[in-house]
Homo-oligomer: A and B are copies of this chain.
């Protein structure tokens, strides 16, 4: 119970929304944090692109450093907090220099960890240094700690959830207001809830970054970001949301990682989640993560996954751990012990699937399409056909019984080639766990 009276001095690189939040949090809750950390935590130096910008926080007494990488060298910096962002460039340079200089690193940078996490973890481990990143996944929710420490006694077989607030916000508004994807995205951008270039969010890349980190932690495996297949939410239409609801589901962008037979499956995709599942009831910009362990069962975490306050909360939690002297391998176990798991082929997965097609409204079409499914060994659990005002055609929505993914895809390809089918069919996974 060493209560050091000497402060832990930190240098912050990046003073955007989150960086400003960390400065504000450390000032506002300074007394509380000092007692919980056993010593004060103070910001001694900062670095950002624009020195003149008003960030709404006092930077008095903090040295200003133009080149972020300089923070690693300063004698008044014990720990570097990297909030620059981006998988490479100045963030990566700073991360390498910080650890090489023998200083602990705290980062919120999921892209950098997804791409260079193995290298950084090895450097940190060799030097016996903390490399902490609670803020990189699901913002303020302590899921890194929950998996790495809380569930550490378990063999974890599955981890999944909603890790992108922008997507969840868009899907929630599409449902609540019956609006199309493009309209909600444009409004979200106008209000600052979505980035000017939203592709990392809406195409599932951001979720893939985060998922690859959680999977490594959960399964004792090497980070394999390249092994995550990412599908986004651009193709989802209000009709899908309505039909899913009628069937008892809500559509969510789910990041899912599983280990089966020693193979690692990682995918980001829109999925139909049963309405009574806690993931389905996670609305707006909230995030949620589920961990399934062999002894603990299903653990569910929900909270705010982005924003200055929640992200700063996670960054400072890491700093408190460092102030307490808690040093563990960045990925729970030594890098050499992490398994390089082969990737599980998606083709062999089994599950139920939601299919939507726009078809010609004439006799024989249904017989043709259902025959195609039958020929591929896919049986139908439910089917709804509705006339659409748009083109005189009909919308056909089907839910399959449990089927092999490759068989469903083969059938879909066959149906898509039919002259009776207009436009590409939509397929979504049903989350049955």
User: Which A residues form the contact surface with B (CB < 8 A)?
Assistant: 1, 3, 21, 25, 28-29, 32-33, 35-38, 125, 128, 134, 140-142, 145-146, 149-155, 220, 276, 278, 281, 293-304, 309-310, 312-317, 319-321, 324, 326-329, 332-334, 337
Least CB distance, A213 to chain B, in whole angstroms: 17
A295 pairs with B141, CB closer than 8 A:
no
Q: Are A302 and B320 closer than 8 Å at their CB atoms?
A: no
Whether B153 pairs with A142 at a CB distance below 8 angstroms is: no
Which of B37, B149, B298 is within 8 Å of A142, CB to CB?
B149
List the 4 shortest-distance A-B pairs measured between CB atoms, nearest first. Answer: A142-B150, A153-B316, A140-B296, A296-B313
Would you give the shortest CB distance from A128 to chain B, in whole angstroms? 5
User: What is the CB-to-nearest-CB distance from A159 to chain B, in angstroms, rounded to a whole number?
Assistant: 14
A29 to B220, CA, bound (A): 13
User: In the complex where A141-B299, A297-B310, A303-B299 touch, is A36 in contact with B152 (Cβ < 8 A)?
Assistant: yes
A29 CA / B302 CA spacing, docked (Å)? 28
Q: Are A333 and B152 in contact (CB under 8 A)?
A: no
The 8 Å CB contact of A295, one of B146, B309, B327, is B309
- Given the known interface contacts A295-B309, A299-B141, the answer about A146 and B155 at a Cβ–Cβ threshold of 8 Å is no
Closest to A310 in B: B296
CA distance A152 to B37 in the complex (A): 8
Task: Note all chain B residues with C-beta closer than 8 A to A21.
Answer: 295
Least CB separation from A276: chain B residue: B281
Chain B: minimal CB distance from A76 (Å): 22
Complex Cα distance, B148 from A324, in Å, reads 12
Is the CB–CB distance between B301 and A297 below 8 Å? Answer: no
Q: Which among B295, B303, B304, B324 is the interface contact of A328 at CB below 8 angstroms?
A: B324
Chain B residues in 8 Å Cβ range of A310: 295-297
A96 CA / B333 CA spacing, docked (Å): 34
CA separation between A301 and B328, bound complex, in Å? 24
Complex Cα distance A329/B310, Å? 25
Bound CA–CA A295/B145 (angstroms): 18
Kindly list chain B residues whose C-beta atoms are within 8 Å of the C-beta of A313.
Answer: 151, 153-154, 293, 295-296
Q: How far is it, in angstroms, between the C-alpha of A289 and the C-alpha of B296 when the chains are bound?
A: 16
The answer on a CB contact under 8 Å between B145 and A36 is: no
Q: Are B33 and A153 in contact, CB atoms less than 8 angstroms apart?
A: yes
Given contacts A37-B152, A150-B317, A302-B302, 9 further A-B contacts (CB under 8 A): A35-B333, A140-B293, A140-B295, A142-B150, A145-B145, A281-B281, A297-B303, A299-B301, A300-B300
Shortest Cβ distance from residue A176 to the other chain B in the assembled complex, whole angstroms: 12
Cα of A32 to Cα of B333 in the assembled complex, Å: 9
Are B146 and A150 in touch, CB under 8 angstroms?
A: yes
Contacts of A301 in B (CB 8 A): 299-301
> Within the assembled complex, what's the spacing in Å between the Cα atoms of A155 and B36?
11
Of chain B, the residue at the smallest CB distance from A25 is B295
Query: Which among A32, A150, A302, A316 has the greatest number of chain B C-beta atoms within 10 A?
Result: A150
